[in-house]
Every structure is written in C-alpha cells, then in structure tokens.
Homo-oligomer: A and B are copies of this chain.
Amino acid sequence: MQRFINDPDEVVEDTVKGFVKAHADLVRRAENPRVIVARQAPVKGKVGVITGGGSGHEPAFIGYTGVNMLDAVAVGELFSSPTAKSFLDAAREANGGRGVVCLYGNYAGDNMNVKMAIKLAAKEGIEIATVVANDDVCSAGPLERAKRRGVAGEIFMWKCGAAKAAQGASLEEVRATAQKAIDNCRSVGVGLGPCTLPAVGHPNFVIEPGTMEVGIGHHGEPGVRVEPLKSAKEIAADMAATVLDDHALPPGTEVAVLLSGLGATPLDELYILNDTMAEAIEARGLKIYRTYVGNYFTSLEMVGATLTVLALDDELKQLLDVEVHCPAMR
C-alpha cells in the first residue's frame, strides 16, 4: 500500500482531526468525536440539516458541513454506517427547535442506525424527518427504485435541502424539497481500479487491466457488468445513456451535471469525460444549467468516476444558486 496513513485502524480519526484543523473557520468537532458540526450551528428557528455515512468518501460527507449547507454530519468507520448514537448527536447539534431532517443514503446499516436514532431523538423531543437517497441507477431496476443505493446525488439533495432550510422553510417543506431533489437525480459509476481498506491491506475486488466495471458502487460493490475498457468517449456516452434512459426527461429540461472522480482519477480525465457527456446530454435536448467536475464523492483510492444528472425546476435552480461556504464545494 503506497499510501499516507498511520495506524490503519486510525484512518478515520486522523482524517477527521486533520480536516477540522484545516477548516476550523467553518467546522468544529462535537463532544462526540464522530460528529462534525458547522460553526454556526444550531441556528435557532432553522430546521437542522444533517447527514451521516461511512468514511472513505472524502470530501463527502464531512466536507459538506458549512454555511447554507449541512449543520452536522455523523461520521462512520471506513465504508461503515455511523452509530445510532452519532446520528442522534448530530441531530442534537443541528437542532434549532424546528426539527431536523436527516438526508442520507440507502444502505442497510444507515437505515438501521438512523431508525434507532429517530426513536432516541423522539424521546428528547427532537423530531427527525428523513430522505433516503437512491440515485444509483445500476443498483436496482426501475421498478425497484426504493432498493437503489444513494451515491453522489446525495450532494444535490444536501445542497437543495440545506438551502431550503436556510430560507426558513418548515421541516416538512425541507423534507419535501430534498426528496424532490433526489427523486430528480440519477447516477451511474464506472470503476477502472479497486480500492483497499487499509485495515484489510489488499484490494477489495479485482478489476483486470483492460477491463472496467460498469455500475460499480461507492464501496467497491461490483458493478452490473464487466466490459473491456473503452475509450473515454464511449464510456462517457454509455454513462450518459444509462442515466438518461432511466430518467426520461422531456426535451428542454434544464439539468445540473455532477461528474465526480472516485479518488485516484486525475482531473484531466474527468474533463475528458465531460467533453462527451455534455454533448450526449445536450443531444437529448436537455440544457445544462451548471456542471461540477472534481472529486466530490470518492471511494478511497478507487480509479473511476460517477455521473449524476439532476433535473431542475425553478425552485431547485434557485436553491442551487444559493451561495455556500463549506470545504467541499462552492
């Protein structure tokens, strides 16, 4: 493992410490060391917006804590849901008296831990509403959308939900807007190289050189099919088609595009993909309102990329435009 780490079991602890030191102007650590809180949180009278998830996806989830973004984030071990206690503590830190919305991804562990946190929070009089992201097209068929994984679409869910909360909306309004955002998202991932959990010490799965894994998950969950490695043009066109075939948006729809590297993919390659993706999206009569290209939601040092397309309406456009101050996005 050619990596910058100390004790493999301390990767999360060391990451969080270094993160808080770098961004002390925006975030702080709660008493529970597995909870990151925005400096200004809780904001009295504002709906609290939280998320949580396994680590190893940096800048997700912690990097999206900030002004007009998430109020608090529960931090799990690498690729492992945070505890119910951490979700609960995040809710406590975010609670400004009007309830808390927890916007998280559809994974068994997160579902269970959030469920338990909701019960515990209710006992303290904190109402937690939830939205469960399920934007990953390849993780289940169109008739089983509720089974799909949440991936980089979560970023749009957070952005829109948090902006809505910042504008003074009620818990139900924030929940509904975040739900709309994720309902309007479709994502797909392609993996060219695996990742290694430091404590395991060898790659989680194998991607033979010259092949690629289409539909790969954010934790190295194998994709839906293995294909010979194609040109960037072909891969980008395939990814756009996968997402847009599932989406079926009327021509003229405005969309936001998020193209994220999985950790070890350099930025030039993401731009190379974007060149074709933008063309493919526009070829369907869609209008690209904004594009984000970078390492927004990663999987340790996996080589690969995800594409997320968010269909916009006036409300979502306006929420996307709200300025944010957080480590991971502008």
Contact = CB atoms under 8 A, between A and B. Distances in A.
A274 B59 CA distance: 14
Contact of A21 (B4, B275, B295, B305): B275
A273 B18 contact: yes
Contacts of A6: 231-233, 272
Contact of A58 (B63, B231, B268): B268
B235 A22 contact: no
A233 B14 CA distance: 10
- Determine the interface band of chain A, counting residues with CB < 8 A from chain B: 35 or more
Given A229-B2, A265-B301, A271 B193 contact: no
A73 to B, nearest CB: 14
Contacts of A22: 259, 271, 274, 278, 291-293
A196 to B, nearest CB: 11
A270 B4 contact: yes
A220 to B, nearest CB: 13
A14 B272 contact: yes
Contacts of A233: 6
B291 A23 contact: yes
Given A4-B273, A6-B233, 8 more contacts: A2-B212, A5-B231, A5-B269, A18-B276, A18-B278, A21-B274, A21-B288, A268-B300
Contacts of A11: 268, 272
Number of copies: 2
For the residues of A in contact with B, the DSSP-based class is: mixed
Given A21-B275, A22-B291, A269 B3 contact: yes
Interface string A14-47: 1111110111010000000000000000000000
Interface in A68-102: none
B4 A275 contact: no
Interface in A178-232: 192-193, 207, 209, 212, 229, 231-232
A56 interface: yes
Nearest to A300: B266
Nearest to A212: B2
A25 B330 CA distance: 14
A272 B18 contact: yes
A118 interface: no
A265 B4 contact: yes
Nearest to A262: B266
Contacts of A288: 21
A267 interface: yes
A4 B192 contact: yes
11 contacts: A2-B229, A4-B235, A4-B273, A5-B232, A15-B268, A15-B272, A18-B273, A18-B293, A55-B268, A266-B295, A267-B295
